[in-house]
Amino acid sequence: MTIQELWDSGIFKQVNEGEDMEREITKPFCCDLLSIAMSKAPAGCAWVTVMGNMNTLAVAALADAACVIMAENAHLDQTAMNKARVQGITVLETELPIFDAALKIFRLLPEGGEKGL
């Protein structure tokens, strides 16, 4: 699944459309501890978090995340929102808990759908 397909799915609220919307999402990744996300987030992941500050975007760029999904009604602060626009990072939001949001993404991926999870 591409970022564009996730963006168009209507599952999450669209916040910031980034660059390279045709990039493939490799898997969901859940983490709120930035030091762990920096070292463990796989390239191309859809990172689900509640951390809505500029450091989150720096880690997303460093880890090469495909996009960031703000869960549990969390939002980017204004500084982070401006940074997302400048850096071209796709950001979406949801009221869902982190795990539930990640599970929705997983089910959209080819390997998730095949397992029927």
DSSP state of 73: T
Give 51-89 pLDDT, tens digit per residue. Answer: 999 999 999 999 999 999 999 999 999 999 999 999 999
Number of Cβ atoms within 10 Å of the Cβ of 2 = 14
Strand 90-93 relative to strand 13-16, pairing: antiparallel
Give 6-54 pLDDT, tens digit per residue. Answer: 999 999 999 999 999 999 999 999 999 999 999 999 999 999 999 999 9
Q: How far is CA 77 from the centre of its chain?
A: 16
